[in-house]
């Protein structure tokens, strides 16, 4: 039976617990948010011993159903002070599932001068190891060293210097099938939470473990076959994402006039073509990179890639639209190699690329470095390697902190988390999500770009108000449920357009556990998760006043459509599940 590994980081005790009571039947975001709701005081300091870092694989992770290998990481966010679930790819989750571990809870906190530890987990149990050589290293060198010690087949969860120094923009990185730590639980500063527990890395080895069996093999096989068909047959998941990666969005979001440019001053970037997915693929082909890769085995969509520099040397992978935007049009940088280097630096330092891009925008607003200067941005980020560098310390702490440090008043954040790559004034459905999700500004929590721009799952005017609250609410519920299963969120493009997709998912879950799970139960799962999250935030002191975008979106017109943000916080309460 699936279990939870409870790890006390102070006395180094590890216990195994069954998933019963409040935790029975939960996985992924369902489990991380429930544990945080039940076990973490909402008012605690996020870096204190009261907070917990929770890692969970999804309900379907470890099976051979396509795209089920994603991982949820949760806690009280050091960046926002809200509850947080951050979702990541990489090989870690499937190995966890193979060991029949549904979740890991890191709790308590070592003494301030304690040394960083590595937690090693295999079929025989878990143990703390001190590996002084990796302390202070970037995630690339640290994981290379860990692969040397534990073999190339392990999965690694690791923080970089940013997380070790509890910087608020820090991520947790995960190794991909090629061993690169380029997959991230990026949002919400969870790297700082891991750093506060003095855990540098968790290494997982599933060799020799016997994976848990699905309850009804025949039914599962049939449902998994239909599921793969659904993904492969849809033009977005079957063709668009594999061919061009997520940066295929740059051109269409630019055409739609909602590509945030120069810290959300314009909806179009005159050099968008230079940073587009089409351009990226051109470079990849010239330089012998790889245009399509999966972040875990069993991904049939394969939106990732290997991006090489001019000399043909590996530079980065998992190089996504959000990152290209954050360091590209947002900063007026149009040199793809500079943007790729900034992505690499973030992965190595262990920083959220979205948060860090918008932070560099604050430095540009303040005149610390010039707009559009990619090399200056690279030099700025490198300062974060040095724990004693004060400018590096400021930048590593994210957008809101940096804006305060330099007196910038144009700060694109909700609940202190920075807005991602769609201007909410010209994509109002996703704007409602930014304002109301329990996560702080987050596009993945209710990706209404589907209906606003891409015409997937409906067609709702991005510039008007009608339908945008409802679509955001429905998507927030559906997304929470998807995040409980271990599915990659990109399956949603196919699910929204395919009649029997929800039934197929319900059949997979039913057959996996030998229960009767219906398409209706998927919605109920999402609602339960959101209730845990909203009630945590309420008890942490979040109110209606926090559910709004910054003033400049309300006061300034966005070119080219000349639109302002016009939803009130009261109106948007309807997008939230009632507690």
Partner 1 sequence: MKIQVSCFATLSKYNPPDGYLEVEDGATPAHILDKLSIPRDEVKIVFVNGQNSGKEVVLKENDRVGIFPAIGGG
Which residues are near partner 1 by CB under 8 A? 234-237, 239-241, 243-249, 251-252, 255-257, 267-268, 277-278, 303, 320-322, 443-444, 447, 449-450, 453-456, 459, 461, 463, 489-490, 493, 560-561
214 to each of 98, 484, 515, 569, how far by Cα in Å? Answer: 12, 17, 11, 45
Backbone angles phi, psi at 533, to 5 degrees: -75, -45
Binding positions for ligand SF4, 48-107, rule CB under 6 A = 67, 89
DSSP β-bridge partners for residue 88? 71
Q: Does 295 bind ligand SF4 (CB under 6 A)?
A: yes
Neighbours of 305 (CB within 10 A): 25
Nearer to ligand SF4, 463 or 489 (CB): 489
Shortest separation between residue 244's beta carbon and partner 1, angstroms? 6
95 binds, among partner 1, ligand SF4, none (CB under 5 to 8 A by kind): none
Nearer to ligand SF4, 192 or 491 (CB): 491
Shortest separation between residue 334's beta carbon and ligand SF4, angstroms? 25
3-state secondary structure 325-367: HHHCHHHCCCCHHHHHHHHHHHHHHCECHHHHHHHHHHHHHCC
Place of tokens 């061993």: 179
Q: Does 177 bind ligand SF4 (CB under 6 A)?
A: no
Nearer to partner 1, 257 or 357 (CB): 257
Shortest separation between residue 253's beta carbon and ligand SF4, angstroms? 18
Backbone angles phi, psi at 35, to 5 degrees: -65, -45
Distance CA 50, CA 34 (A): 16
87 binds, among ligand SF4, partner 1, none (CB under 5 to 8 A by kind): none
DSSP-derived letter for residue 175 is: -
- Token duo for residue 307: 């991006």
Q: Does 302 bind ligand SF4 (CB under 6 A)?
A: yes
DSSP result, 199-215: EEEEEE--TT--PPPPS
Shortest separation between residue 457's beta carbon and ligand SF4, angstroms? 17
Nearer to partner 1, 23 or 321 (CB): 321
Backbone angles phi, psi at 121, to 5 degrees: -120, 130
DSSP β-bridge partners for residue 127? 120
Residues 380-409, one symbol each (x = binds ligand SF4 by CB under 6 A, - = not), give ------------------------------
Residues 415-454, one symbol each (x = binds ligand SF4 by CB under 6 A, - = not), give ----------------------------------------
Nearer to partner 1, 372 or 559 (CB): 559
Q: What angle do CA 393, 43, 394 make, to 5 degrees?
A: 10
DSSP β-bridge partners for residue 74? 54, 85
Angle of the 28-39 helix axis to the 468-485 helix axis, nearest 10: 90
Place of tokens 């992978």: 317
Strand 117-122 relative to strand 101-107, pairing: unpaired
Shortest separation between residue 99's beta carbon and partner 1, angstroms? 30
Q: Does 294 bind ligand SF4 (CB under 6 A)?
A: yes
Give Cα 374 to chain centroid, integer Å. Answer: 24
Shortest separation between residue 30's beta carbon and partner 1, angstroms? 21
Stretch that binds ligand SF4, among 76-84, 289-297, 407-415, 557-565 (CB under 6 A): 289-297
Contacts of 137 (CB under 8 A, 6+ apart): 145, 160, 161
Binding positions for ligand SF4, 481-500, rule CB under 6 A = 488, 490
Nearer to partner 1, 96 or 236 (CB): 236
DSSP-derived letter for residue 282 is: H
Stretch that binds ligand SF4, among 122-130, 254-262, 297-305, 382-390 (CB under 6 A): 297-305
Contacts of 79 (CB under 8 A, 6+ apart): 168, 169, 187, 188, 189, 192, 355, 398, 416, 417, 440
260 to each of 263, 336, 419, 459, 559, how far by Cα in Å? Answer: 7, 17, 10, 22, 10
Nearer to partner 1, 105 or 249 (CB): 249
CB 527 within 8 A of CB 577: yes
Nearer to ligand SF4, 89 or 191 (CB): 89
Stretch that binds ligand SF4, among 293-301, 328-336, 423-431, 462-470 (CB under 6 A): 293-301
DSSP-derived letter for residue 111 is: -
Nearer to ligand SF4, 134 or 488 (CB): 488
Distance CA 123, CA 211 (A): 11
Stretch that binds ligand SF4, among 255-263, 291-299, 449-457, 551-559 (CB under 6 A): 291-299
Shortest separation between residue 491's beta carbon and ligand SF4, angstroms? 8
Stretch that binds ligand SF4, among 147-155, 295-303, 375-383, 446-454 (CB under 6 A): 295-303
CB 267 within 8 A of CB 221: no
Distance CA 504, CA 226 (A): 7
Binding positions for ligand SF4, 303-342, rule CB under 6 A = 303-304
Nearer to ligand SF4, 96 or 488 (CB): 488
- Would you say the C-alpha torsion 561, 564, 570, 573 has a positive or negative sign? positive
357 binds, among ligand SF4, partner 1, none (CB under 5 to 8 A by kind): none
304 binds, among ligand SF4, partner 1, none (CB under 5 to 8 A by kind): ligand SF4
Radius of gyration of the chain (CA): 22
Nearer to ligand SF4, 169 or 301 (CB): 301
Shortest separation between residue 328's beta carbon and partner 1, angstroms? 14
Nearer to partner 1, 447 or 567 (CB): 447
Nearer to ligand SF4, 300 or 366 (CB): 300
Shortest separation between residue 88's beta carbon and ligand SF4, angstroms? 9
Residues at the site binding ligand SF4, with contacts judged by CB under 6 A: 67, 89, 294-296, 299, 301-304, 488, 490
């Amino acid at each position: 039976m699936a279990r939870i590994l409870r790890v006390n980081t102070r006395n180094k005790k590890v216990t195994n617990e069954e998933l019963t009571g409040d935790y029975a039947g939960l996985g992924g975001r369902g489990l991380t948010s429930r544990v945080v709701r039940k076990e973490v005081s909402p008012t605690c300091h996020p870096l204190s011993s009261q907070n917990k870092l929770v890692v969970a694989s999804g309900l379907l992770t470890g099976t051979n159903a396509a795209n089920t290998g994603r991982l949820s990481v949760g806690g009280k966010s050091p960046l926002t002070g809200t509850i947080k679930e951050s979702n990541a790819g990489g090989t870690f989750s499937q190995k966890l599932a193979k060991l029949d571990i549904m979740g890991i809870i890191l709790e308590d906190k070592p003494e301030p001068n304690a040394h960083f530890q590595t937690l090693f987990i295999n079929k025989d149990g878990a143990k703390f190891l001190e590996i002084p050589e990796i302390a202070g290293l970037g995630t690339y060198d640290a994981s290379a060293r860990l692969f040397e010690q534990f073999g190339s087949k392990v999965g690694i969860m690791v923080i970089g210097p940013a997380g070790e120094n509890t910087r608020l923009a820090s991520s947790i990185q995960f190794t991909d099938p090629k061993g690169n730590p380029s997959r991230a639980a990026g949002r919400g500063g969870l790297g700082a939470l891991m750093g506060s527990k003095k855990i540098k890395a968790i290494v997982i080895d599933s060799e020799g473990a016997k994976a848990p069996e699905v309850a009804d093999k025949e039914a599962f096989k049939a449902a998994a076959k239909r599921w793969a068909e659904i993904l492969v047959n849809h033009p977005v998941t079957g063709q668009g994402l594999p061919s061009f990666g997520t940066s295929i969005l740059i051109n269409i979001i630019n055409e739609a006039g909602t590509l945030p440019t120069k810290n959300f001053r314009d909806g179009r970037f005159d050099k968008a073509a230079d940073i587009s997915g089409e351009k990226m693929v051109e470079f990849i082909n010239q330089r012998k990179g790889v245009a399509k890769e999966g972040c875990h085995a069993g991904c049939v969509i394969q939106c990732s890639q290997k991006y090489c520099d001019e000399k043909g040397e590996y530079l980065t992978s998992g190089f996504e639209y959000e990152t290209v935007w954050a360091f590209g049009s947002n900063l007026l940088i149009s040199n793809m190699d500079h943007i790729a280097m900034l992505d690499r630096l973030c992965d190595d330092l262990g920083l959220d690329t979205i948060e860090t891009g918008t932070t560099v925008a604050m430095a540009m607003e303040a005149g610390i470095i010039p707009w559009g200067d990619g090399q200056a941005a690279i030099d700025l980020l490198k300062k974060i390697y040095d724990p004693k560098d004060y400018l590096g310390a400021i930048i590593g702490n994210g957008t809101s902190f940096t804006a305060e440090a330099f007196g910038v008043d144009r700060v694109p954040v909700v609940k202190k988390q920075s807005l991602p790559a769609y201007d909410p004034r010209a994509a109002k459905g996703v704007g409602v999500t930014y304002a109301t999700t329990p996560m702080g500004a987050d596009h993945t929590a209710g990706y209404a770009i589907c209906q606003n721009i891409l015409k997937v799952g409906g067609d709702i005017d991005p510039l008007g108000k009608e339908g945008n609250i409802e679509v955001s609410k429905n998507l927030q519920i559906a997304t929470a449920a998807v995040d409980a299963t271990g599915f990659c969120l990109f399956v949603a493009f196919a699910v929204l357009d395919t009649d029997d997709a929800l039934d197929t998912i319900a059949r997979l879950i039913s057959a996996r556990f030998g229960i009767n799970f219906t398409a209706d139960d998927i919605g109920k799962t999402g609602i339960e998760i959101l209730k845990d999250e909203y009630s945590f935030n309420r008890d942490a002191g979040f109110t209606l006043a926090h559910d709004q975008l910054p003033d400049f979106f309300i006061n300034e017109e966005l070119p080219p459509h000349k639109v302002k943000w016009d939803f009130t916080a009261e109106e948007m309460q309807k997008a939230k599940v009632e507690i």
